[in-house]
Amino acid sequence: MIEYLKTGTDGTMERLEAPETGCWVNAVAPTAEERELLERELGVLPEFVGSALDEEETSRIDYDDDANQIFVIVDYPTVEEDGAPARGSLPLQYDTMPLSMVFLRDRGMFVTISILDNPVVSDLAAGRIRNVDTHYRTRFLLQMLLRVSQLYLLYLRRIDRLSSHTEARLHASVRNEELIQMLNLEKSLVYFSTSLKSDEVTLNKIAQGRIIPLYEDDQDLLEDVLVEVHQAIEMANIYSGTLSGTMDAFASIISNNLNIVMKVLSVITIVMAIPNIIFGFYGMNVDLPFDGVPFFDNWAFPIVIAAVCCLVAAWIFKRKGMWH
């Protein structure tokens, strides 16, 4: 899908039928025909389009002197909407995806290319972000980056609440579903931390002002973005450390519970083996009378001996703390 948008005189976002100077070209999951349109009609470099549609592409900024184009790619957070564990469905997992922005300086356009539809471009296209003007491309880029950093903070707070809720359920009953959810959240925090650090490097390159010229208002907006990114990095590190410690604690608890169960089962096995040994003596196929087995003709005697031996063994295990 490709749409053309432009800020009108009243400050609202308007959709256009064809691209023009000062517009924003938003391409979401472009088809082969739409990729050809981006490359041939709008003049976006093919290598920029290829990098924008690569899920494994890391955050960076690039400049092509010949085409006079600036390419910026950052990672934004996404969530796999599998449902919430509180409703008994599959666990959630967060991930990151690339969002690419291209400055077409010769044509005065701003192009965004993303693999999936995402809240960043959706909020901007719907006009839910205030003071947006597509004519000021640098400011528009920084407003988009600010929205990305705010989205990280929003998802990090959701991860914290979800981990607390899952931990509370684990205290009540240790089940595989909750453990898988905790593992998914731990992986999500690793993805977030890695992507945020890459985004921070790209922002620092933008802050140098050598590739993208910055005005005074742009400097203030860029500082806000850097503050949000730094806060997101700190939150991701704190939540990741807390969640990792929680997972280690629950792993120790599960291992300890397993040891206790195995110990009890071993004690029960030993105690229950005593009657089998005694009855085995009296059940041997020998000629009667057999002097080695006393009271062979009295069935109550081996039962009493077995019961007494079991009670003595249980008392010994109880005294040594092996029976709970």
Q: What are the tens digits of pLDDT across the range 302-317?
A: 677 778 877 777 777 6
Q: What is the pLDDT of residue 90?
A: 46
Q: What is the pLDDT of residue 130?
A: 80
| pLDDT above 50 for 83 | no
Q: What is the pLDDT of residue 88?
A: 44
Among 78-87, 89-98, 130-139, the range scoring the smallest mean pLDDT is 78-87
**CATH numbers and ranges of domains, the chain:** 2-256 (3.30.460.20), 257-319 (1.20.58)
Q: What is the pLDDT of residue 152?
A: 93
Higher pLDDT, 148 or 67: 148
CA distances from 114 to 96, 98, 137, 283, 317 (A): 12, 7, 18, 80, 66
Determine whether 59 is exposed, middle or buried from the number of CB atoms within 10 Å of its CB (0-12, 13-18, 19+): buried
Higher pLDDT, 129 or 94: 94
Q: Which residue, among 96, 52, 58, has the nearest Cα to 232 in the 3D structure? A: 96
pLDDT, tens digit (0-9, with 9 covering 90-100), for 15-28: 888 888 888 899 99
Rounded to whole angstroms, the Cα distance separating 110 from 134 reads: 8
Per-residue pLDDT averaged across 43-52, rounded?
89
Q: What is the mean pLDDT of the chain?
A: 81
Per-residue pLDDT averaged across 94-99, rounded?
90
Task: Name residue, tokens 């931390």.
Answer: 193
Q: pLDDT band for position 171 (50/70/90)?
A: confident
Per-residue pLDDT averaged across 197-219, rounded?
87
Asked, as a colleague might, if the bond just before 213 is cis with ω within 30 of 0, I would say no
| pLDDT above 90 for 230 | yes
Q: pLDDT band for position 248 (50/70/90)?
A: confident
- Cβ contact 113:52 at 8 Å: yes
Q: What is the pLDDT of residue 79?
A: 85
pTM greater than 0.85 (yes/no) = no
Q: Three-state DSSP class for 147?
A: helix
| pLDDT above 70 for 140 | yes
Higher pLDDT, 278 or 261: 261
Per-residue pLDDT averaged across 100-117, rounded?
88
Q: What is the pLDDT of residue 322?
A: 59
Higher pLDDT, 84 or 161: 161
Per-residue pLDDT averaged across 240-254, rounded?
80
